Structure 1
């Protein structure tokens, strides 16, 4: 095994040539497919300035109006995402704590609620809240119903993530805290839960990215988030392909930003974690000379 690899040996000359040829062929096939798709779109008139102008040409008379309209949709999307993320984190943390601290006589109820909400599709959950609750006299705004559906569904997923993080901690952490006289609640709040959050941070941020994407389900309630406003704009611009492509790029940019934030938070949490090795630039303490060591008599 070579010094630069951990799980496999370095490729030999034949294998290296095979991998390079495979990369060349794959790239050529990809370029060919893109060329055929572009040619087909050009033939169908999908690359014309009339369809792309309102989206990418500032000189187009509809450009500023369209992007002001879409900016309002992006703001509504971010409002729903922030509210749903906060509520899902609070609800998920509470459910995780209830599950790990519940007594046997009511644990079945907590587990049943978590499994029920996990098993219901999020679209059906949002539709149920918005259509059934008003029938029994519970009235909320469309924004509230959308946030409730996203928070309940993603909250139970976050609860399972946090529970997994708590169970993955070494048993000695709990025993050491209890040996210091901490109660079960203080042990969970001060010792176990912060470590579980730090350990499961990538999974938690990944679930929050899912929440941002699921805000697009607001169209079933006619809530004017980004996707819904894009659909409204299509009715006058008649460019569904171009509009949906632009909206997809916006979602990719938002989620890419969250991914970069995840990596930065993960690096920061790793540096703050107890037992983290010191920075390589920090000079090591000099070892004592043999003359300074105490004499040991046998």
Structure 2
């Protein structure tokens, strides 16, 4: 079946693609076999390296679960603050007033251009120098500050792009029936743009969850990844096992977030579909009875 962007494959192309697929799978299998062989020779696959994750709860209650809670706490606080802040700046960048549009654009471009790690370090120094936040809470505050400043700027661009993708006739029709600009944005544009923006927003939320690890690497914030370092040293340098378990947790967490967003997107799209009510001939001719009389 052909389309504008795709031509149907012929017999030779199909055979070539099948051959390339088989070769690729064989190479991947050989690579995995080589990696597993090295790990086996180094003793990294011995049961002693993995048993603490399956036979007891000490590794989970002492290291993994507290680190997971710290990761989720920092990510949740960042999302709660960054989402509405990004929406405000994204809408402000679409304002007709230069005194609103220009400052919003400067803020967004400034923080979007700075690495999030630099913002976290700046936040830590700021809280240490000018606030009374305790030294135990400063890493959390710094991580959340860096994540909010950077991701709110990125989300602002996502919101702005999502609104600009809508047909111009949407806002023109809303204004034609007497809605003000604020009502057009709130009642017409934003509800339609949310569905289009949702995949990009979820991708950014996944980035927020992963970027909490920067706080553990530099700011001594006790998040999930930093717990792997401590756990690996405590259990005799089982680095491969510790980081594998942490990676699986990250994958499961982000997969759950993505799956929920996909479900929500489907529900939003279904809710916007027409009811599909069928009109009968009598409905199309309401005055037929009166004419017959």
Whether these two folds match at TM > 0.5 is: yes
Question: Pairwise mapping of residues 1-298 of structure 1 onto structure 2 (< 5 A)?
Answer: 2=1, 7-55=5-53, 57-58=54-55, 63-69=56-62, 70-101=64-95, 103-137=97-131, 139=133, 141=137, 142-219=139-216, 220-237=218-235, 238-273=237-272, 276=273
CA distance in 2, matches of 1:111, 1:10: 46
CA distance in 2, matches of 1:86, 1:122: 18
CA distance in 1, matches of 2:20, 2:164: 44
Give the number of equivalent residue pairs: 282
1:283, distance to aligned residue in structure 2 (A) = 8.6
Two-structure CA RMSD over aligned residues (Å) = 2.6
In terms of mean alpha carbon deviation, does 202-211 or 106-115 score higher? Answer: 106-115
Structure 1 runs of 4+ with >6 Å offset: none
1:6, distance to aligned residue in structure 2 (A) = 6.6
Aligned residues of 2:166 and 2:189 also touching (Cα < 8 A): yes
CA distance in 2, matches of 1:145, 1:36: 42
1:109, distance to aligned residue in structure 2 (A) = 2.0
Q: What are structure 1's unaligned runs of at least 5 residues?
A: none
CA distance in 2, matches of 1:127, 1:189: 37
Aligned residues of 2:158 and 2:197 also touching (Cα < 8 A): yes
CA distance in 1, matches of 2:261, 2:281: 39
Aligned residues of 2:166 and 2:193 also touching (Cα < 8 A): yes
Q: What are structure 2's unaligned runs of at least 5 residues?
A: 289-293
Query: What TM-score do you get using the length of structure 1 for normalisation?
Result: 0.86
TM-superposition CA deviations, 1:75-123 (whole Å, max 9, x none)? 2211111111111101101111222226224533221111110011001
CA distance in 2, matches of 1:83, 1:235: 30
Aligned residues of 1:216 and 1:226 also touching (Cα < 8 A): yes
TM-superposition CA deviations, 1:174-203 (whole Å, max 9, x none)? 122222222221221121122221221111
Query: What TM-score do you get using the length of structure 2 for normalisation?
Result: 0.87
CA distance in 2, matches of 1:44, 1:29: 23
TM-superposition CA deviations, 1:48-96 (whole Å, max 9, x none)? 12212212x31xxxx3100112112112211111111111101101111
Aligned residues of 2:123 and 2:141 also touching (Cα < 8 A): no
